Amino acid sequence: MGWDGMNRIYLIRHGQTEWNRQNRYQGWSDVPLNDTGKQQAREVGKVFADNAPAVIYTSELVRAEETAGIIGSMSNIPVKKTGKLNELSFGEWEGRTHEEIARDYPSYWERLRKNPGDFRAPGGESVQELHTRVGTIWRTIREDSASPIIVVAHGGTLRTLILEILESSLDSFWRIRLDFCSISRVDTYDNHCIVASLNDTSHLNIG
């Protein structure tokens, strides 16, 4: 593990869904993985086949749960589900495309792009509320005695978590790229966290 007291946590975004492919906002809508997403999850599973982590934490939404289940089944890793890792709720926007949102909600769209830290979609959850929710489960994960740990979640959830680790403003939300089934690594020790790698997709042999 590097040096005494250090733990390693792998952050993995879920695999692709049809709504992802169509550029539709998903939020809390339960959209399953498509065939590409399932293959992406299997490719991640191969990465950990020879050095399996002790536990997987995943959101309760099916696209993350399926991703975690595929990874876990390949190395017999137990999976813990928690709603605190769920994606940001986009309320009235869920199921609609980026183009439709930009056309029908221009002021909200502009706020999302420029000041995401103050953003809340109509009928949805604020980015600040997401930040608070994710912070709670992050403390639980860090205090888990298992080592190493996988966290399977969503683009918004993981961006918020990484910004928390970096002590950065939520307005930097869109400055972090996280592709489907990418692997980011966080090393933790004592009261410190280090983002050791970000958005690694070298394992995804998919055209």
Active-site residues: which are they? 14, 87
How many CA within 13 A on the CB side of residue 156?
26
* Peptide bond just before 148 cis, omega within 30 deg: yes
d(CA 207, CA 167): 36
Find tokens 């999850």 and name the residue: 41
Single-letter amino acid, residue 185: R
Segment 95-98 long-range contacts (CB within 8 Å, at least 24 positions apart) = 95/19, 95/24, 95/25, 95/29, 96/24, 96/25, 97/22, 97/23, 97/24, 97/25, 98/23, 98/25
Residues 134 and 149: their CA atoms lie apart, in Å, by 16
Tell me the residue length of the chain. 207
